[in-house]
C-alpha cells in the first residue's frame, strides 16, 4: 500500500459524456477544498468555466496522479498519451460497463479521501509496442494497453496472416484476422472472440484468431519476451490495423507488423472496495458469492 500523500492531481475526461462539465467542476472544487492542486487536460478545460487547460505531456509532468472520468475508452486514450510517463491513473466509471474504470461515480469522494492521504495501491499493467514495415519504411505505430487488431478491409474475403515468433515461422492464419492482446486486454475484444481471461500482473501475450478458416487455429499464450512478426498476404485491398480501438492504419499485402512487450507500462490505482475477481463477477454476471463464502468474507 502506498503511503505518499497526493497534492497534485490532473483530470482527463470523456467530453461526450452527459453532464461531464458539471462532474469535473464539482470534483475540481472538492479537491481544491482538500488542499489539492488540480490541473485539467486541454479538451475538458474548454467545457469548464474559468479553467486553464494543459497538453498531455505537460499534464503528466505537473501531476502526481491522473483521474480519468469516462469509461474504458477514456482509460485507453489516457494510457496511450501517458506512455513513457510514470504517473498513476485512477479510472472513474461514468458508464454501465468497464474493467479499467474500477471506481464508480458514487464512490469518488471516499476513494479520493483515501488516496490523497496516501492510502492506495497501484498495479503496473503491461503494454505492447507496435511497428509496421512497408517496403523499406518502418512506422512506429505506438503502444497499446489492451490490444492490436488486424482485420479484413472492405471486402468480405479471408486474409492470410503469416506469423513468426522470435524469428521462426509458426503458422499462417486464414480468416477474418487476429487479435494480439495483453492480460489487461484479455477481457476486451479477445474475450468476445473466445479468448482466455488472464489476470493482470502476469506479463503474457495472447494471440487469438478471428473466425479462423481452420478450426484447429486456437488462441495461444506466449511469454512476455516473445517477438511477433505478422505478414499480411492479401489479394484484395489489404486490411486494417487498430490500436486499442483508438487509432487505425491501412496495411497492404506484404506489410509486416511487429509486436513485442513495451518498455512502458501503465500504472493503475486500484479500487479500495473490490478485487479484480469481484470486478469480473460483476461485469460478467457470474452470480453472487455462496452463503458460506459470504460468511467467511464478512468474518475477515
Exposed e or buried b for every residue in 123-144, given b needs 16+ CB within 10 A?
A: eebbbbbbebbeeeeeeebbbb
209 and 219 in contact (C-beta within 8 Å)?
yes
Specify whether 72 is catalytic.
yes
Residue 50's CB is within 10 A of a number of other CB atoms, namely 6
Residue 8's CB is within 10 A of a number of other CB atoms, namely 14
| 22, 72, 154, 236: the active-site residue | 72
139 and 131 in contact (C-beta within 8 Å)?
yes
User: Residue written as cell 492531481?
Assistant: 9
> Do strands 65-70 and 89-93 pair parallel, antiparallel, or not at all (unpaired)?
parallel
- Residues found in the chain: 300
Nearest to 29 by CA among 120, 119, 121, 108: 108
* Active-site amino acid positions: 72
Amino acid at each position: 500500500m502506498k503511503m505518499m500523500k497526493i497534492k497534485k492531481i490532473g483530470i482527463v475526461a470523456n467530453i461526450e459524456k452527459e453532464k461531464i462539465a458539471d462532474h469535473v467542476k464539482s470534483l475540481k472544487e472538492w479537491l481544491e477544498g482538500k488542499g489539492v492542486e488540480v490541473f485539467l487536460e486541454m479538451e475538458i478545460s474548454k467545457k469548464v468555466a474559468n479553467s486553464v487547460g494543459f497538453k498531455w505531456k505537460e499534464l503528466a509532468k505537473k501531476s502526481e496522479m491522473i483521474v480519468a472520468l469516462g469509461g474504458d475508452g477514456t482509460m485507453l486514450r489516457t494510457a496511450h498519451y501517458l506512455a513513457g510517463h510514470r504517473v498513476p491513473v485512477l479510472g472513474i466509471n461514468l458508464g454501465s460497463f468497464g474493467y479499467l474504470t474500477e471506481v464508480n461515480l458514487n464512490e469518488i469522494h471516499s476513494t479520493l479521501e483515501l488516496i490523497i492521504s496516501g492510502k492506495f495501491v497501484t498495479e503496473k499493467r503491461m503494454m505492447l509496442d507496435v511497428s509496421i514495415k512497408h517496403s523499406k519504411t518502418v512506422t512506429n505505430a505506438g503502444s497499446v494497453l489492451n490490444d492490436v487488431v488486424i482485420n479484413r478491409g472492405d471486402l468480405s474475403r479471408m486474409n492470410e496472416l503469416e506469423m513468426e515468433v522470435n524469428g521462426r515461422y509458426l503458422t499462417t492464419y486464414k480468416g477474418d484476422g487476429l487479435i494480439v492482446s495483453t492480460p489487461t486486454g484479455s477481457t476486451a475484444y479477445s474475450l468476445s472472440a473466445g479468448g482466455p481471461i488472464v489476470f493482470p500482473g502476469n506479463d503474457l501475450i495472447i494471440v487469438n484468431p478471428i473466425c479462423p478458416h481452420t478450426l484447429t487455429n486456437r488462441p495461444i499464450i506466449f511469454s512476455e519476451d516473445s517477438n511477433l512478426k505478422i505478414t499480411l498476404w492479401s489479394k484484395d485491398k489489404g486490411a486494417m490495423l487498430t490500436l486499442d480501438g483508438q487509432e487505425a492504419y491501412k496495411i497492404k499485402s506484404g506489410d509486416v507488423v511487429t509486436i513485442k512487450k513495451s518498455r512502458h507500462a501503465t500504472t493503475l490505482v486500484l479500487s479500495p472496495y473490490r478485487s479484480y475477481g469481484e470486478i469480473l463477477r460483476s461485469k460478467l454476471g457470474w452470480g453472487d458469492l455462496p452463503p458460506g463464502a459470504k460468511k467467511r468474507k464478512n468474518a475477515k
